[in-house]
Structures are given as C-alpha cells and as structure tokens.
Amino acid sequence: MANDIDRRDFLGVAAGAAATLAATEAMAQQQQPAAGGFNFAATPPTGFRPMTTPGRVVRVNKAGSLRPGNLFPRPEAATEMVNKVVMELAGRNDLAQAWRQFVHPSDRVAVKVNGLGLRNMASNKEVVEAIVAGVIAAGVPAANITVYDQWDSFLAATRVSARALPTGVRVQCHNGTRLSPETRVASGRTWYATPLLEATAVIGVPLIKDHSLSGFTGAMKNMTHGSIKNPEAFHRHLCSPQIAELFHHDAIRTRSRLHIMDGFKAVYHGGPRDNPEHRVALECVLASTDPVALDRVGSDIVDQLRTSHGMGTLQARGLPVRYLEEGERLGLGVADRARINTRVVTLA
C-alpha cells in the first residue's frame, strides 16, 4: 500500500464525506439538548483549523521497547515512539510544530486513557506522559490539561499520577457522577463526563483488544463508553449503531483531535479485560485523527493474531465489528480497507 494518500484516494474520501452529509445532519437533529439549552459543542480557538487525516494511520514499531516481562514499556522508548508517530502523522520534523497541527495553545486538552483491563492491560503511563509533554511543547499550559478515565480503579491501573506529571496537569475520574445534563442519541438517553466537556480538544489513548460484545474495542469505544454514565445501556446488537451514535454526538465529535493507540500489547481473545493467556507483545504505537480507520486497522491486527493462533476471525466468531460501517455512514471516518492508508515506520 502506498505511503501517501494520492489524489484518487483524497477524492474518494471527499466524495464519501459529501454522501454522508445528509445523514449527518439528520443524526444531529436526533441529539436532544438538555432542558435549558445546554450546549455540548466545542469550537477550536479562533483562526485555528486542527489537522484531519481521513483514512490515514501511522504505525511506529520498535523491537525491545518493553521492559523484561513484556508488561510495561521503557520510558525512553515510549517517548521516542509517541514523538515519531505524531511527527509522521503531522508531516513535521519538529515535535512542537507537529503537535500544533492538532492542538492550539489556547485549547483546554483532555487526555482520555483506558484502564478497564486493569494494570497489565491499560493505557501505559509512559505513553500518557509523552503525550502530555508533547501538548505542553505545543504551547498548552499544564493547567489546561486533564488526564481522565471513568473510574478510580481504571485510572489507577494506568499508573498515571499527578505527581509524575508537570505541575498543574489534573488527573480526574468522573465515577459516573461528574456529568452533563441528560441528552439523547437515537439509541437512548445518556450523560457525558464533565472532564470531557470542560475541554475544547480531546486526545484518546486506546488499546488493541477484542471485545465480547462489540468484537473490537479501540479509539471509538474508549471515547464513548468511557465518557458516559450508563455504558451498559449501549451494548445491544454488537454495540452498533450505539458506538457510532455516541461518538457522533457533539460532546465527542466536536472535541476529537487525535487518537494515539497504545499497541505495546494486545489481547486477541477474552477481552476487553486482560487475558494473560491471549495477551501478546506488539511493541508499536499507532496514531490517526480518523477513529474509524484506526479501529479498522486495530481490528485487523486482532484478526491476524487470532488466525495466527489457530482461531477464527471476529467475523467467524459471530462478532463482526459493525459499528465501523455505521461510523463511516455518519461521516466519522473511513471504514473501507481499500481507502485506508497505513504508513509503517520501524525504529532501530
């Protein structure tokens, strides 16, 4: 596959976006604001246009990046890999300039981690610390950065600590109580987390895991089911169209800037909790502004691991990742493998 999106690919993505415009507008009308006209939407700082890369994913590999035991990355390797994946995606050789393609110094930035798999299968603090350092390099004050997750135990699993982050960075959980007024998507009512809504930009730090209800859990589900009060209400029918609907809501869609997928390890069976028997070391980091394309690439990695270990694919298991097609229909990104461009960089 080519390393750069050519004109035909670009036009294909643009045509697809135009074709979904009517569906997107119709969906927006189904998002019911809370009583009193609460505004869930965020807007970028005046004059700033965040970079978007429809259908483009960058993967950075580095052998030997995990510590002995294959549980946690070496800090210097995680920093090198995160910095490289952001610079490659942005097309900039300077780290601060690269991050400024996605965040502005006037932004309030939320970093959504994922600790549901607990300590051995959570977003790694080494990745999060590199992300925070990059956001600060872009000019965002530390006091305007929040790292958050759903529950205290999940956040503890990431090993992220305010003491290890630059002074001023906040670390929060919403615990199902720090929430917006009620709102609705087509599949039902919900409440979004205030650590998300207080931000103007959000960076997701998902993992690579299979999921017993949705087939795969990655960039999109990290943001949706980890940022609302009642995720259990949106698990029916392989979580589709629910994941796409929740992500399409103004609360997430208008803040989504970048997703940096922590691929140091992957779980290919028995997820979304950690499953040591089916957990493997991958030693990679992936990034995209397109959560649909990133989840397609991630789910394909899970399928490759399953088949290499003598298992059927997610589709064969009866868990097709249906929410991706719905995400593309709503204009959230590219689900079609033929229109996804993945650049792979291997570090020495």
- Give me the percent of the chain exceeding a pLDDT of 90: 89
Tell me the pairing of strands 279-288 and 341-347: unpaired
What do you get for the CA distance between the two ends of the chain, in Å? 22
Mean pLDDT of 29-55: 81
Structural domains in the chain, CATH included, are: 7-33+40-347 (3.40.50.11440)
Encoded amino acid at 25, one letter: E
Whether residue 5 is predicted with pLDDT greater than 60 in this model: the reply is no
Those residues whose C-beta lies under 8 Å from the C-beta of residue 263, and which sit 6 or more positions away, are 59, 207, 208, 282, 283, 284, 285, 286, 298, 301
Whether residue 75 has a cis bond before it, omega within 30° of 0: no
Closest CA to 132 of 91, 83, 90: 83
Tens of pLDDT, residues 134-176 = 999 999 999 999 999 999 999 999 999 999 999 999 999 999 8
Tell me the pairing of strands 201-204 and 109-112: parallel
Tens of pLDDT, residues 228-266 = 999 999 999 999 999 999 999 999 999 999 999 999 999
Q: Residue 126's CB: how many other CB atoms inside 10 A?
A: 24
DSSP 22-65: HHHHHHHHT-BPPTTT------PPTT------TTEEEEEEETT-
pLDDT, position 36: 54
Q: How confident is the model at residue 38 (pLDDT cuts 50, 70, 90)?
A: confident
Tens of pLDDT, residues 257-312 = 999 999 999 999 999 999 999 999 999 999 999 999 999 999 999 999 999 999 99
Those residues whose C-beta lies under 8 Å from the C-beta of residue 129, and which sit 6 or more positions away, are 75, 78, 79, 160, 164, 165
Average pLDDT, the chain: 91
